[in-house]
Amino acid sequence: MAGLYIHVPFCKQKCTYCDFASFPKEIGKVESYFACLYREIEGRSKQYKDTVIDTVYIGGGTPSVVESKFIMGALRQVRKCFKVKDDAEITIELNPGTVDEGKIKDYKSVGINRFSIGLQTGFDDQLKRLNRIHTAKDFLLCTNLLKGENISADILIGLHDQTAAQVEKTIDLAIAGGVSHLSVYALTPEVGTPIYTDYLNGELLSEDETADIYEHVVKYLKGKGFNRYEVSNFALDGAYSRHNMNYWKRGEYIGVGVSASSFMENRRFTNTFKIDEYINAVIYNKSPEISSDMIEGDDAKFEFIMLALRTADGLDTAEYNKIFNEDFDNEYSESLRKKAQFLERNGDKIKIKDQYLYVQNDIILEFMK
């Protein structure tokens, strides 16, 4: 089984922190883009004809900014070309400022059963500064349309002058909207984004201040019944994202559309980040890929370790030994010794202690060969 990711690179306007392949000025190319997307889906299904799809994730950009007929068409094409499990988890990302009752009805009609809303913050002044197109009220209007559905929300920490109390109120807003899953991301000011200038000017929270807020969030969400199952992801029991879990378990996935990455048969490949280049490649029956690498040997081992240690469950050494025909404890005895104070062992399972999960990068790098 595998996951399927569909990238929709359109949005109304660019957020100040956005470094994804999203293009507000290219909205006029929606029809051409989706025609090529349907074609790529068909091509990938022939390339991986025996693949069963367990999860579908429609991300962006802002998938909800385009007419729902395009999203419906993409999912119909997926079902036509692939075998999709009856209980597949099918997620779409939504911006609260771009949905209405009709769109939600259309999404549900083609089997979308999980909705990921970009909230980011519950304060309108902060949303405006981030160049978001919605308000906190829009978020509640959106969740009202989704009442009874499986809802997730994204929240950002590390914003200008943000306080732990403000993040608490944002979480309360999300919970009031009925979310069962929260992704809490520390703002990463990428070079070339408008917010990077704010970072250079020292206008954002420091790493230590953001870390303090994160630790506060972990405790606050635990009190609300949300379990941290990955460094940035929290959920009520039974509401973990199956699509994301597949990534962290190093499962296979197919990505279609601009900038989409795939991992199939130990090969990782990524499509072009340019819409025109993507459209031209598909029209002329050429691959839209711009990179391709076989992930084998030490690279595969480190990837397995890195992804597993990001999760609350941690790494299963018995699974590692079976996959790589090695003995994890012997192979990494020195790394285990050096990082022993940060690790917790329970039989075959090794995990990073809860209090160190946020700073897991330094711990994980010790296992790189």
Check pLDDT > 90 for residue 202: no
Q: Residue 119, exposed/middle/buried by CB under 10 A (0-12, 13-18, 19+)? A: buried
**Helix 68-81 × helix 30-47 angle, to 10°:** 10
What residue ranges define each of the domains in the chain, with the CATH number in brackets? Answer: 2-247 (3.20.20.70), 297-367 (1.10.10)
| Residue 238 CA, distance from chain mean position | 18
> DSSP letters along 16-31, please?
TT--SS--GGGGGGHH
How many Cα atoms within 13 Å fall on the side-chain side of residue 48? 23
Distance CA 162, CA 213 (A): 9
Q: How many residues does the chain have?
A: 369
Distance CA 115, CA 63 (A): 11
Percentage of the chain with pLDDT > 70? 100
Q: Largest alpha-carbon pair distance within the chain?
A: 58
pLDDT of the residue at 331: 96
Distance CA 288, CA 40 (A): 9
Question: Nearest CA to 68 among 56, 76, 80, 79?
Answer: 76
Q: Mean pLDDT, to the nearest integer, of 77-89?
A: 97
Distance CA 276, CA 341 (A): 51
Q: How does the average pLDDT of the chain come out, rounded?
A: 95
Q: What is the pLDDT of residues 314-341, one digit of tens each?
A: 999 999 999 999 999 999 999 999 999 9
The answer to whether 256 touches 269, Cβ cutoff 8 Å, is: no
pLDDT of the residue at 15: 83
| Cα dihedral 138, 144, 145, 149 in deg (nearest 10) | 120
Model-level pTM?
0.95
Compute the radius of gyration of the chain from its Cα atoms.
21
Beta strands 267-271 and 289-294, pairing class? antiparallel
pLDDT band at 359 (very low <50, low <70, confident <90, very high): confident
* Amino acid letter, residue 11: C
Q: Mean pLDDT, to the nearest integer, of 88-96?
A: 97
Q: Residue 147, exposed/middle/buried by CB under 10 A (0-12, 13-18, 19+)? A: exposed
The answer to whether 24 touches 11, Cβ cutoff 8 Å, is: yes
Q: What is the pLDDT of residues 37-62, one digit of tens each?
A: 999 999 999 999 999 999 999 999 99
Task: Classify 174 as helix, strand or coil.
Answer: helix
Q: Residue 331, exposed/middle/buried by CB under 10 A (0-12, 13-18, 19+)? A: middle
The answer to whether 288 touches 42, Cβ cutoff 8 Å, is: no
Task: Specify which residues 261 forms β-bridges with.
Answer: 270
**Which single residue is written with the structure tokens 């993507």?**
278
pLDDT of the residue at 369: 67
Q: What is the pLDDT of residues 217-269, one digit of tens each?
A: 999 999 999 999 999 999 999 999 999 999 999 999 999 999 999 999 999 99
**Which single residue is written with the structure tokens 């630790």?**
215
Q: Mean pLDDT, to the nearest integer, of 202-206?
A: 90
Q: What is the pLDDT of residues 138-196, one digit of tens each?
A: 999 999 999 999 999 999 999 999 999 999 999 999 999 999 999 999 998 888 888 88
Distance CA 93, CA 130 (A): 18
| Residue 174 CA, distance from chain mean position | 18
Q: ∠ CA 132-69-281 to the nearest 5 degrees?
A: 85
Sheet holding 83-94, edge to edge: 227-230, 233-235, 181-186, 150-157, 114-120, 83-94, 52-60, 2-8, 252-256, 261-264, 267-271, 289-294
